[in-house]
Structure formats: C-alpha cells, structure tokens
Amino acid sequence: MILTFGQTGQVATELGLQGGGPCLSRAEADFKVPGALTAALEAFRPEAIINAVAYTAVDRAEDESDLANRVNGEAVSELALACAAANIPLVHLSTDYVFDGAGTRPWQSDDPPAPLNVYGRSKLAGEEALRAAGGTYAILRCSWVVSPHGRNFVKTMLRLGAEREALDVVADQIGAPTAARDIAAACLEIAGQLSADPSKSGTYHYQSRPFASWAEVAGEIFAQAGLACTVREIATTAYPTPARRPLNSRLDCRDTERVFGLSMPDWRASLKPILEELA
C-alpha cells in the first residue's frame, strides 16, 4: 500500500483519483502539529509514502515564514526521520523555486540551490532534512503545476480570458506547466521502483516539455479553449509581487528519464483533458 499525505491539493487529488492508496486529510495528519505524522505512519504501516502536502502560498509566505517553515521544513524532517526508522521509502514533492533562476541553462538536480523567497527557502529546508534523515527517498522537483482542481494558472486564464479582450502576461519567466495528473502517475511509479531498489534514492526533476513562457502558455490555453483574448507580453518587473520569482525555471529531467524510465509529457497535450474537464 502506498500512503499519500495530502488530500485536497492538486497532486494529492490526482493521486486519489488514480487509486494510489489512502490519502490523508489535515484532520488525519496535520503538518502543523508535531508528532501527528509519526502517529499516522504507525497506524497505516504502508509500503511507501508520497508527501503531497506543502505550504504553497508563495507571496503570503513572505509574511508567514514560521508557518511555511513548519509545513515545508520541520514537518518534512519529522516525516523523513520516521520513514527512515521504519525503512519506508518516501517520495517528496519539491519545486523549481529552490533555484535563483539565473541564466538560461536547464537546472540539473545537483546544481547549488539559491532560493529567492521564503517559500523556496522553506522547501529547500525540507529537502535538506530529507537527505539528512538517512532513509530511502526521492525528491521530485516540479514546476508550474496545473489541473482542473484548486487554484492554478489555467483556471485563472480561462476566467480572465472570458472576461477580457486582452490580457497582460509575463513573458520573461521560462519553464513549463506540468499537469498534476502526470506528476501523480510519476510519483506512483517512482514509489514502486524505490521499494524494489532503494539505490535509486536521490533528487530528481519532473517537468513537461517544451519550455515556454507564461505568455506562451496563456496563448495556448486561449487557442485550445477557443477564447479570442489577446495576450500582451510584459516583463516580470511590470507585475511586481511580494515574493521574487525565478526567471529561469527550466529543469533538466534526464536523470529521471534514465533512472526511472519515465518520459516527460508534452504540456500542450496534457492541457487538453484539463480544459475538457473544466468545460
């Protein structure tokens, strides 16, 4: 049995839909409460765990650093230590925001992290704690998660694109939207392979292809949805936010492909079922 921590987030929702095993809600395993995760682990005794819980309010984290660090750092440390003690493989979702976004080269998994904001630093703390715990693990860094669930870029663009004739969208942040459905399937595959071969432990990247800007993604959303909204490309500096965003969110996924035999999906194809479900 694979146990998922998380129930309502985008990836956790998809894990539940894909029959990956029990998905624990906050009431069953609250990352804010010390000791709650260890108790849940002892109650279920799974073969592997996927952690899909995170504090993801990037801008709000600038004012809620204690909460972000608790959920993304301290709680992950507790979970990782408990998994290591019980010899349970742990797949943990992380983010491209652990990098500073400099340059244009895709980030490799062993590149030095240098997060720009509180959210990125809290996620990096969780990564470091997981590595230090000494168990079997896979850190899976993803970017720009989209799905029919929760709040995300696709749903925002559909709403605004239906309301407006033109929309300003940032064009100098480059990465790729990755469907929660694809991430969930990858997590389940990686969890199974880790159980069979703990030597595959490590840090990996999972991101759709091809690379694109937010403006290009918005244009594709409008095209597939049949919306006449025009995309006006703007610079990040024209849309200031409390938390700094990395400009380069390209991820090198070759290690993930080689070790786990996974192919990176085309985000344009993954977008289609999301739009169909939202329609």
Mean pLDDT score, 108-136: 97
pLDDT at 33: 82
- Average confidence (pLDDT) over 123-145: 97
Q: What is the mean pLDDT of residues 7-17?
A: 91
Write the pLDDT tens digit of every residue in 198-216: 999 999 999 999 999 999 9
Contact 188, 15 (CB under 8 A): yes
Statement: residue 264 has pLDDT above 80: yes
pLDDT at 121: 98
Task: Inform me whether the pLDDT recorded for 20 exceeds 80.
Answer: no
**Would you state the structure tokens that stand for residue 137, as one six-digit string?**
């693990």
Check residue 43 and give its pLDDT. 83
Q: How confident is the model at residue 181 (pLDDT cuts 50, 70, 90)?
A: very high
pLDDT tier at 107 (50, 70, 90 boundaries)?
Answer: very high
Band of pLDDT at residue 22, cut at 50, 70 and 90:
confident
Give me the catalytic one of 55, 119, 137, 206.
119
Q: What is the mean pLDDT of the chain?
A: 95
Per-residue confidence (pLDDT) for residue 193, from 0 to 100: 97
User: Which pLDDT value is given to residue 41?
Assistant: 79
Report, as an integer, the average pLDDT of 101-119.
Answer: 97
- 46-60 tens-digit pLDDT: 999 999 999 999 999
- Give me the pLDDT at residue 7, please: 86
Are 183 and 15 in contact, with CB atoms under 8 Å apart?
Answer: no
What is the mean pLDDT of the segment spanning 168-196? 97
Tens of pLDDT, residues 63-82: 999 999 999 999 999 999 99
Q: pLDDT-derived band of residue 109, with 50, 70 and 90 as boundaries?
A: very high
pLDDT grade, residue 93 (50/70/90)? Answer: very high
- Predicted structure pTM score: 0.94
C-alpha angle 273-162-181 in degrees, rounded to nearest 5: 20
pLDDT at 122 over 80: yes
- Clarify whether 119 is annotated catalytic: yes
Q: What number is the average pLDDT over the span 236-244? A: 94
Distances (CA, A) of 271 to 32, 115, 167, 223, 278: 33, 28, 20, 11, 11
Q: Decide if pLDDT at 26 tops 90.
A: no
CATH code given to domain 2-147+177-208+250-265:
3.40.50.720
The residue type found at 76 is V
Name which residue leads in pLDDT, 21 or 161.
161
Per-residue pLDDT at 163 exceeds 80: yes
